[in-house]
Amino acid sequence: MMPFTNDAIVFGILMISLGFVFYTESIKEGFWYKFYKVIPGLLMCYFIPAIFNSLGIISSEESQTYYIASRYLLPAALLLMTLSIDLKAIYNLGYKALIMFFTGTLGIIIGGPISILILSMFFPELFNGAGPDAIWRGLSTLAGSWIGGGANQAAMLEIFEYNPQKYGGMVLVDIVVANIWMAMILFGIGKKKSINKWLKADTSAIEELKEKVTSFSNSSKRIPNLTDYMVLLAIAFGTVGLSHLGAEYISEFLISNFEAVADKSSGLSSFASKFFWMISIATFIGIGLSFTKAKNFEGVGASKIGSIFIYVLVATIGMKMDLGSILDEPKLILIGLIWMSIHAILLIIVAKLIRAPYFFLAVGSQANVGGAASAPVVAAAFHPSLATVGVLLAVFGYVVGTYGAMICTWLMEYTSNL
């Protein structure tokens, strides 16, 4: 069967999937009630499109729905979710968010060389490649992607000059392993109470932020009319337009005036990313508007509309996962799984030691591994008011991504030659 290539059809399938999940999750008895006690609804919003893609019903390679969701709906969602943000309450979340973020970064930096050491004991021939074919050069692109994002990944490809013909295998590992890990994080969100209990975490600051936003939403709640929705969407998608405009100008200005930014082998090349600036501009506009009367739009459901956009993005991210491809490059996938396991274990150990809530573990990890596209998705899954935390941490990831990946790569080169 040929996959559907018309994006209108693909989008319809994704929306039906989301509607199915939300409807069945609302049933409070029988099979579906028991099912969602075990499997979180958010995970199903991600997993059903993955099944459709794996069965060849839809194709992530043919479809532009992810691009549309990440470039148009994500900045709109960030604007809508930050309108009612309380910056002081975010500040009161404290130092643990940053500790967990940098723990995630450290986990990626040391995870690469450790996974090479482990695999070299069983498959020494895997690391015999020399020059552009050396596997550590290819793994450098994973380090760039898993600490920062796509721009950092491209920078690593330029800096360490991996064979472009073999690069597709690394992209496969990136997609498969990162998506498996995101699925596990989404599963954990459904069990966050028991996880926080095991971590002995202090969630008071997070609960206080959620309560503040919820109480403000309730206090400003009113029955919306058509004008409310039109003005709200004008602000949201006007911001999308401004974000794209600003991103183009800033990116072109930096590339034209700073050689280090224009040089793809430079540590500053990630600042040339239009996606980075688009996300940053949308977030800062939302924060700015939160000090104005625009924050009262939370009373007509601004964050709920933003959540709709986020769930569409979740479905398109899930669509990128091909379950059948897990066996295509088994040894490379194994390196990625060991690498991600080290990242996860280190996060769990540090979270346990400092009693950090699961929220900080999940968002700290995704701000590294998933970047600006998935960190706010995971943060918003806890509560729409927390999406901004995910974005701000993901921006950190872009900034430190290239440098962290370079350190990781030098360590991988050393361990490959032992």
Burial of residue 148, with CB atoms counted within 10 A of its CB: 0-12 exposed, 13-18 middle, 19 or more buried: buried
Query: How does pLDDT run across 195-216, given as a tens digit for each residue?
Result: 999 999 888 888 887 787 778 7
pTM (predicted TM-score): 0.78
Q: For residue 20, what pLDDT is reported? A: 96
The pLDDT of residue 267 is 58
What's the whole-number average pLDDT of the chain? 86
Give residue-wise pLDDT tens across range 88-98: 767 777 788 88
When comparing pLDDT for 222 and 113, which is higher?
A: 113
Mean pLDDT lowest for which of 54-58, 85-89, 139-143, 333-337?
85-89
Domain-wise residue ranges, the chain: 81-307+320-416
Burial of 241 (0-12, 13-18, 19+ CB in 10 A): exposed
